[in-house]
């Protein structure tokens, strides 16, 4: 089968590999019918994910059809259409029991697919702990509608969930990339009084303005003043930092009102400065990143009910044979790309 592979630092390559096989009684083999490319894939390519293993098949955003299951798998069967969760988790350890599945203590726990074990930019993928990592897609939900459930949308949903948003709040979301938009969609479900999106890319600003006209938009340079003028208590009640740029961590806490919650979703390339003397007396609560991707069933129900729609994010479609071209466009942000969908080879 074809598998897009982490060849060496800075290089991925489409290779022919054997089809994966069941290795454990809790595994499933899934035929990937639709996949995507995530910014984290680029982080692997450029060496900022040290635990990524050379030679693995990359890709951790995918949906597919169950091909085969191990003898202990009970929640899915061959033929089921499923979302695949970016995280592998046992469901039984201390952290899993508390819903902190990102910190599952199983040796394979956490982000393994497409990082430490073969992922889904391929024709087939082996999914460990299939009872936890796979969720059946309702018949009325298409592959494209379900594509982001296991990763970027799970991240947005988790970020909105932990941010303690109430209906009186002004919520600031920094960054309107794919994860920022998914976060926005999930924050909207909480019905806060105001949502402000801070973004600098004209294309992304246009995307938000056209599709979500009720959302206020500001650019980084004026955002402190804008948030001050558009909030009730001298700053945002809740800030979600989804950009991960050089100055956005500072922006996040500067735009927050005293006693605000600041949720850091972004993955930074470099350490960030926490200037405690400058923020002394602000009494902020910080929550830091690492999605607990255990709400996929609930997210699928919300999609089925028409409450979340991420299909506008899919701006480009390629088959697996053309994945090099898909990466070229995604990596260089060409042609207004937000997300690409990778379908089976033709």
- Specify the DSSP element, H or E, that contains 188: helix 178-188
CB of 273 to Zn ion, least distance (A): 26
DSSP state of 3: E
Choose, by CB under 5 A, the member of 3, 30, 36, 40 that binds Zn ion: 40
What is the spatial distance between Cα 53 and Cα 64, in angstroms, rounded to a whole number?
A: 24
Least separation in angstroms between CB 148 and Zn ion: 9
Q: Which of 27, 87, 123, 151 binds Zn ion (CB under 5 A)?
A: 151
Candidates 3, 34, 38, 174; binder of Zn ion (CB under 5 A) is 38
Would you say the C-alpha torsion 218, 222, 227, 230 has a positive or negative sign?
A: negative
Nearer CB in complex with Zn ion: 267/284: 267
185 interacts with Zn ion by CB under 5 A: no
Is the CB of 58 or the CB of 104 nearer to Zn ion? 104
Question: Nearest 5°: phi and psi at 71?
Answer: -70, -20
Minimum gap (Å) between residue 97 Cβ and Zn ion:
8
Q: What angle do CA 19, 77, 121 make, to 5 degrees?
A: 35
Phi, psi of 328 (to 5 degrees): -60, -45
Q: Are 243 and 179 in contact (CB under 8 A)?
A: no
Query: What number of chain residues touch Zn ion (CB under 5 A)?
Result: 8
Shortest Å, Cβ 89 to Zn ion: 5
- Residues 93-112 touching Zn ion, rule: CB under 5 A, are 93, 96, 104
> By C-beta, is 20 or 178 nearer to Zn ion?
178
Binding to Zn ion, residues 215-254 (CB under 5 A)? none
Angle at 5 between CA 88 and CA 100, to 5 degrees: 15
Q: List residues binding Zn ion (CB under 5 A).
A: 38, 40, 89-90, 93, 96, 104, 151
């Amino acid at each position: 089968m074809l598998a897009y592979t982490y060849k060496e630092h800075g290089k991925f390559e489409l290779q022919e590999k054997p089809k994966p096989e069941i290795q454990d009684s809790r595994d499933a083999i899934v035929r990937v019918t639709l996949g995507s490319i995530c910014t984290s894939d680029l982080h692997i390519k450029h060496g900022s994910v040290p635990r990524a293993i050379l030679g693995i098949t990359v890709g951790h955003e995918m949906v597919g059809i169950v091909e085969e299951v191990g003898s202990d798998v009970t929640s899915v069967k061959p033929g089921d259409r499923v979302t695949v969760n970016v995280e592998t988790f046992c469901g039984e350890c201390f952290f899993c029991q508390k819903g902190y599945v990102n910190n599952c203590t199983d040796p394979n726990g956490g982000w393994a697919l497409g990082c430490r074990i073969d992922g889904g930019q391929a024709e087939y993928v082996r999914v460990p702990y299939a009872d936890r990592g796979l969720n059946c897609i309702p018949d009325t939900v298409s592959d494209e509608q379900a594509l982001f459930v296991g990763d970027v949308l799970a991240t947005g949903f988790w970020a909105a969930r932990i941010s303690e948003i109430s209906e009186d709040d002004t919520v600031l979301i920094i960054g309107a990339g794919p994860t920022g938009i998914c976060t926005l969609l999930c924050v909207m479900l909480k019905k806060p009084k105001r949502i402000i999106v801070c973004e600098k890319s004209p294309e992304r600003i246009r995307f938000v303005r056209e599709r979500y006209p009720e959302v206020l938009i500001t650019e980084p340079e004026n955002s402190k003043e804008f948030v001050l003028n558009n909030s009730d208590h001298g700053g945002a009640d809740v800030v979600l930092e989804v950009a991960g740029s050089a100055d956005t961590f500072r922006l996040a806490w500067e735009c927050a009102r005293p006693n605000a919650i600041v949720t850091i979703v972004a993955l930074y390339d470099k350490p960030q400065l926490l200037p405690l003397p400058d923020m002394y007396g602000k009494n902020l609560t910080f929550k830091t990143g690492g999605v607990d991707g255990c709400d996929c069933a609930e997210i699928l129900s919300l999609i089925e009910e028409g409450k979340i729609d991420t299909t506008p994010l899919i701006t480009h479609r390629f088959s697996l044979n053309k994945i090099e071209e898909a990466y070229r466009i995604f990596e260089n942000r060409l042609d207004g790309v937000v997300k690409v969908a990778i379908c089976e080879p033709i």
